[in-house]
């Protein structure tokens, strides 16, 4: 499910928080945690002042 | 020896309330997430056994994404508690289990305390306790901290579960291969001293490839084990394209599965009471007027009720002073008692009724959940000054006390956001400053005082916004992120909680009055008494030397000196004036000597200039820089001076 959320953001490039919370039946604080987690993994997802999630760069990270 | 218990849960699950219920302490509790930003410790007894309790900041999972989450994880890994009390939100179990499942990997015994069962019930959520017991091997208590339900059962189970074997859930073993691989890795890691306490947790971090742990784990492993672990990890990720979210997804799908199995929800088309109330309170057009009217009303009630009791206390101290002059001969002792103790400390004590009522009303707003809505309402202004929406939580805490407000900025994601917020907090009038303003306001402006203080309150918010804009524009420019905040359901606060909250604040104030403020008062008295041949003593001579600076603002020597002592504690402004006005009743002197314009300008300066010394210390500690500390001190004095100067001459022109 979380992978689906991230994929959805990558695919749409710009997506609103409201759309994500409705589509995936998830609350905003938890979505915040997922985005922060993704940022830690090197995903360039940002949230602007209008609560739009944007992905600037999402590199493939090789293990080890 | 006492046993250590740790309370862990996600933000706004009720950890601090549970901590207070167990220990009887008065840690700050708020009906919004992020109140606890550092661990708090207390203790309680069951029979003759002592239990230490640690309240950790809220976290969503064991992969820290903010400073407060890191504090929680570091503590769990390093302190080896005997038991974790995992507090879950009964009205939001999905998110709660997401954390609970990760806690199992720490190999520490756990008890589940499922809180907010009253809220769950009102939402039509039913939890099948027997099914839940069948899934987890640990003890589970259903309750509501707010109503005191389940606390006694929890205490009994705490005693029973200390150092008991760690808990398990059948869900891990039947779900998929991830857990089996974690077990395989932990069998290898347990041989190492560094990982022997929490081998499963470190195995999870290896599979997750958590950048905070994985590189340091690999450095410690010998080559043979490293290659074995790498091959296990390769096996986990075989045929999986996206590797980054595997474990997160695993925990989330497990928690969804558990919630689906143990809960049922009655659906209703009717809007909940919270939704109905929010439709009005958060309405685009009404939200700001309602916010303003609410605070105006609170100031009015505080003045109205506080005035009655404060006048009574003033009357008592006046009579006490009169009584002392009758029984003690004129000299140092009489001067010390009438001018120092009664005049100084007595004036401060008359603040108590205002403090008591203000905390009752602010506590009411906080407990009902309205304060969290204030954050939501103010969010749009926060963005204008380039601040993160979360910053407003710190600013709201600043209305109570600047010290915890500065500490609470740890939840902010970027250093620039933190520093900007820290620099704005001193402009928010803390309760100490507000009560001092209320005290003077009541004397100077009589029945209109509530309106004047309300204007000053709004001005302080305006100055904070202006300063934020200034810092953002010229010093710390950065794009802000949107506000992500869960609005809690409305609660009807209990009178007991409101009274207790207010009682603890008054107690805290009396403690300060008896120590720091008393100390300052005695020093000021001695400096004003000696040398005996100089009227007004050293302090007057020194005050006269610097008074030329404040003459343009219309301040006399006494007010100038009181502003200096106000840096140590804002309440000491009153006690200093009480001492310097030489035993005359402070109310009478102010009415006779201060004009309304001068009074207003003094209150304005008092509201803006310098945080107290405790705030200054915390600002240095949190920013790690003397530059920011001296910068904010210099800026606030200059800003206070300029604004007071302009306002004074504007008022003199029009009045």
Shortest CA gap A12–chain B (Å): 18
Q: What is the pLDDT of residue B33?
A: 46
Q: What backbone torsions phi and psi does residue B492 show, to the nearest 5 degrees?
A: -95, 115
Q: What is the pLDDT of residue A61?
A: 41
Q: How would you label B592-619 residue by residue, b for 16+ Cβ within 10 Å and e otherwise?
A: eebeebbbbbbbbbbbbbbbbebbbebb
**Residue in B233, B253, B482 closest to A48 by CB:** B482
Q: Which residues, other chains included, contact B291 with Cβ-Cβ below 8 Å and sequence gap of 6+?
A: B374, B377
CA distance B427 to B469: 13
In sign, the C-alpha dihedral spanning B53, B146, A30, B486 is: negative
User: Which residues on chain A are in Cβ contact (under 8 Å) with B10?
Assistant: 29
ipTM score assigned to the predicted complex: 0.76
Residues of A contacting chain B (CB within 8 angstroms): 1-3, 6-7, 17, 27-34, 36-41, 43, 46-52, 61, 63-64
**Residue in A1, A6, A40 closest to B253 by CB:** A1
What integer is the mean pLDDT of B572-585?
Answer: 78
- Domain A2-55 sits in CATH at 1.10.10
Architecture category of domain B3-170 in CATH: 3-Layer(aba) Sandwich (3.40)
Q: What is the pLDDT of residue B29?
A: 44
User: Which residues on chain A are in Cβ contact (under 8 Å) with B485?
Assistant: 28-29
Shortest CA gap A42–chain B (Å): 10
At which residue do the structure tokens 């009205």 appear?
Answer: B91
Half-sphere exposure of B523 (CA within 13 A, CB side): 12
Confidence of residue B80 (pLDDT cuts 50, 70, 90): confident
CA distance B34 to B408: 7
Most confident among B177-186, B309-318, B375-384 (mean pLDDT): B309-318
CB contact under 8 A, A39 and B65: yes
CB contact under 8 A, A28 and B485: yes
Q: What is the pLDDT of residue B647?
A: 92
**Residue in B61, B63, B230 closest to A64 by CB:** B230
Cα B558 from chain centre:
34
Q: What is the pLDDT of residue B411?
A: 66
Residue of A nearest to B385 (CA): A49
CA distance B36 to B53: 14
Region of B24 please: left (phi>0), alpha (psi -120 to 50) or beta. left
Shortest CA gap A47–chain B (Å): 5
Q: Two tokens at B385?
A: 């000054």
Shortest CA gap A24–chain B (Å): 12
Q: What is the pLDDT of residue B205?
A: 85
CA distance B102 to B160: 23
Alpha-carbon distance values, B643 to B596, B600, B601, B636 (Å): 17, 12, 9, 10
**Chain A, chain B: beta-carbon pairs less than 8 Å apart:** 84
R_g over Cα of chain B:
29
Q: Two tokens at B399?
A: 């209305």
Residue of A nearest to B65 (CA): A36
User: Which residues on chain B are in Cβ contact (under 8 Å) with A60?
Assistant: none
Among B248, B257, B392, most A C-beta atoms within 10 A, so best to mutate, is B248
Shortest CA gap B446–chain A (Å): 44
Q: What is the pLDDT of residue A63?
A: 36
Cα B396 from chain centre:
9
Residue of A nearest to B413 (CA): A36
User: Which residues on chain A are in Cβ contact (under 8 Å) with B247?
Assistant: none
pLDDT > 70 in chain B, percent? 89
Of B36, B32, B35, the residue nearest B370 (C-alpha): B32
Half-sphere exposure of B652 (CA within 13 A, CB side): 13
Shortest CA gap B66–chain A (Å): 8
Q: What is the pLDDT of residue A60?
A: 42
Q: Is the pLDDT of residue B413 over 70?
A: no
Taking only the tens place, the pLDDT of each residue in B344-365 is 777 778 878 888 888 888 788 8
Shortest CA gap B140–chain A (Å): 24
Q: Which residues, other chains included, contact B431 with Cβ-Cβ below 8 Å and sequence gap of 6+?
A: B355, B358, B359, B362, B399, B400, B401, B505
Q: What is the pLDDT of residue B26?
A: 54
User: CB of B197 within 8 A of CB of B76?
Assistant: no
Q: Which residues, other chains included, contact B162 with Cβ-Cβ below 8 Å and sequence gap of 6+?
A: B3, B5, B51, B82, B83, B109
Q: Which residues, other chains included, contact B332 with Cβ-Cβ below 8 Å and sequence gap of 6+?
A: B529
CA distance B72 to B64: 9
User: For residues B559 and B175, which has the higher predicted lDDT (pLDDT)?
Assistant: B559
Shortest CA gap A43–chain B (Å): 10
What integer is the mean pLDDT of B506-535?
Answer: 79
User: Which residues on chain B are in Cβ contact (under 8 Å) with A47?
Assistant: 481-482, 484
User: CB of B231 within 8 A of CB of A51?
Assistant: no
Q: What is the pLDDT of residue B28?
A: 47
How many other CB atoms are found less than 10 A from the CB of residue B92? 22
Q: Is the pLDDT of residue A49 over 70?
A: no
Q: Is the pLDDT of residue B535 over 80?
A: no
Q: Which residues, other chains included, contact B551 with Cβ-Cβ below 8 Å and sequence gap of 6+?
A: none
User: CB of B283 within 8 A of CB of B275?
Assistant: no
How many other CB atoms are found less than 10 A from the CB of residue B107? 18
**Residue in B60, B237, B249 closest to A1 by CB:** B249
Architecture category of domain B172-265 in CATH: Orthogonal Bundle (1.10)
CB contact under 8 A, B413 and A33: no
Question: A24-33, B50-59, B481-490, B528-537: lowest mean pLDDT where?
Answer: B481-490
Confidence of residue B35 (pLDDT cuts 50, 70, 90): very low
CA distance B81 to B72: 12
Residue of A nearest to B254 (CA): A1
Residue of A nearest to B98 (CA): A30
CA distance B223 to B228: 9
**Residue in B66, B245, B383 closest to A49 by CB:** B383
CB contact under 8 A, A36 and B248: no
Question: B36-45, B195-204, B279-288: lowest mean pLDDT where?
Answer: B36-45
Confidence of residue B567 (pLDDT cuts 50, 70, 90): confident
Q: What is the mean pLDDT of chain B?
A: 80
Strands B139-142 and B110-115: parallel
Q: Is the pLDDT of residue B517 over 80?
A: no
3-state secondary structure B210-236: CCCCHHHHHHHCCHHHHHHHHHHHHHH
Q: What is the pLDDT of residue B175?
A: 55
Residue of A nearest to B246 (CA): A3
Q: What is the pLDDT of residue B225?
A: 83
Q: Two tokens at A62?
A: 């090789």
Among B214, B229, B244, B384, most A C-beta atoms within 10 A, so best to mutate, is B244
CA distance B243 to A59: 12
Q: How would you label B516-538 residue by residue, b for 16+ Cβ within 10 Å and e otherwise?
A: bbbebbbbbbbbbbeeeeeebbe
Region of B301 please: left (phi>0), alpha (psi -120 to 50) or beta. alpha
Q: B412 by DSSP, 3-state: which?
A: coil
Q: What are the sequence ranges of the domains in chain B?
A: 3-170, 172-265, 287-484+493-654
How many other CB atoms are found less than 10 A from the CB of residue B239? 4
Strands B263-265 and B49-55: unpaired
CB contact under 8 A, B484 and A47: yes
Total number of residues shown for chain A: 64
CA distance B92 to B263: 11
User: For residues A55 and B72, which has the higher predicted lDDT (pLDDT)?
Assistant: B72
């Amino acid at each position: 499910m979380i992978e689906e959320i991230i994929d959805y953001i990558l695919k749409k490039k710009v997506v609103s928080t409201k759309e994500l919370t409705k589509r995936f039946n998830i609350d905003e604080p938890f979505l915040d945690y997922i985005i922060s987690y993704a940022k830690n993994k090197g995903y360039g997802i940002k949230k602007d002042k209008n609560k739009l999630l944007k992905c600037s760069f999402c590199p493939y990270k090789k293990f080890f | 020896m006492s046993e250590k218990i740790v309370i862990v849960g996600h933000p706004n699950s009720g950890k601090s309330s549970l901590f207070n219920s167990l220990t009887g302490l008065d840690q700050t509790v708020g009906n919004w997430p992020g109140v606890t930003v550092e661990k708090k410790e207390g203790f309680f007894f069951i029979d003759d056994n002592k239990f230490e309790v640690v309240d950790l900041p809220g976290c969503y999972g064991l992969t820290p994404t903010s400073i407060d989450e890191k504090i929680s994880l570091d503590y769990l890994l390093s302190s080896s508690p005997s038991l974790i009390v995992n507090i879950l939100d009964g009205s939001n179990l999905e998110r709660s289990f997401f954390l609970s499942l990760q806690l199992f990997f720490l190999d520490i015994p756990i008890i589940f305390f499922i809180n907010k069962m009253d809220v769950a019930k009102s939402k039509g959520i039913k939890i099948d306790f027997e099914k839940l017991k069948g899934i987890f091997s640990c003890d589970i208590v259903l309750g509501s901290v707010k109503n005191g339900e389940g606390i006694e059962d929890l205490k009994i189970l705490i005693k029973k579960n200390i150092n008991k074997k760690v808990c398990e859930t059948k869900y891990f073993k039947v779900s998929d291969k991830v857990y089996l691989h974690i077990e395989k890795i932990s069998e290898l890691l347990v041989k190492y001293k560094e990982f022997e306490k929490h081998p499963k947790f470190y195995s999870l971090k290896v599979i997750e490839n958590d950048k905070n742990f994985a590189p340091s784990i690999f450095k410690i492993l010998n080559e043979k084990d490293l290659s074995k672990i790498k091959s296990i990890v390769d096996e986990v990720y075989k045929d999986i394209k996206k590797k980054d979210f595997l474990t997160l997804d695993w925990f989330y799908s497990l928690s969804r599965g558990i919630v689906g199995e143990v809960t049922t929800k009655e659906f209703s088309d009717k809007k909940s009471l919270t939704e109905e109330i929010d439709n009005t309170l958060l309405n685009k057009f009404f939200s700001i007027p309602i916010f303003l009217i609410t605070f105006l009303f609170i100031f009015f009630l505080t003045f109205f009720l506080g005035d009655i009791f404060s006048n009574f206390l003033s009357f008592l101290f006046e009579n006490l002073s009169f009584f002392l002059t009758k029984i003690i001969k004129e000299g140092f002792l009489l001067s010390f008692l009438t001018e120092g103790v009664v005049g100084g400390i007595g004036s401060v004590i008359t603040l108590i009724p205002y403090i008591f009522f203000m905390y009752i009303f602010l506590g009411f707003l906080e407990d009902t959940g309205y304060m969290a809505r204030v954050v939501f309402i103010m969010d749009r202004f926060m963005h204008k000054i380039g601040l993160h929406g979360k910053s407003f939580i710190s600013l709201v805490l600043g209305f109570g006390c600047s010290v915890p407000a500065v500490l609470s900025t740890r939840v902010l994601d970027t250093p620039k956001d933190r520093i900007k917020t820290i620099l704005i907090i001193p402009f928010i009038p803390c309760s100490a400053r507000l009560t001092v303003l209320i005290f003077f306001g009541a004397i100077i402006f009589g029945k209109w005082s509530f309106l004047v203080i309300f204007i000053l309150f709004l001005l302080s918010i305006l100055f904070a916004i202006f300063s934020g804009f200034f810092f953002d524009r010229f010093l710390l420019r950065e794009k802000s992120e949107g506000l992500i905040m869960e609005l809690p359901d409305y609660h009807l606060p209990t009178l007991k909680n409101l009274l207790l909250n207010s009682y603890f604040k008054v107690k805290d104030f009396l403690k300060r009055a008896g120590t720091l403020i008393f100390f300052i008062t005695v020093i000021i008295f001695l400096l004003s008494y000696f040398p005996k041949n100089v009227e007004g003593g050293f302090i007057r001579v020194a005050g006269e030397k610097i008074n030329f600076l404040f003459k343009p603002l219309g301040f006399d020597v006494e007010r100038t000196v009181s502003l200096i002592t106000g840096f140590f504690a804002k309440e000491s402004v009153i006690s200093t004036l009480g001492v310097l006005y030489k035993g005359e009743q402070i109310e009478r002197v102010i009415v006779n000597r201060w004009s309304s314009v001068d009074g207003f300008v003094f209150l304005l300066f008092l509201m803006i200039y310098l945080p107290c010394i405790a705030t200054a210390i915390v600002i240095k500690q949190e920013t790690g820089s003397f530059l920011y500390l001296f910068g904010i001190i210099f800026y606030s004095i200059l800003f206070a001076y300029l604004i007071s100067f302009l306002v004074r001459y504007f008022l003199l022109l029009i009045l």
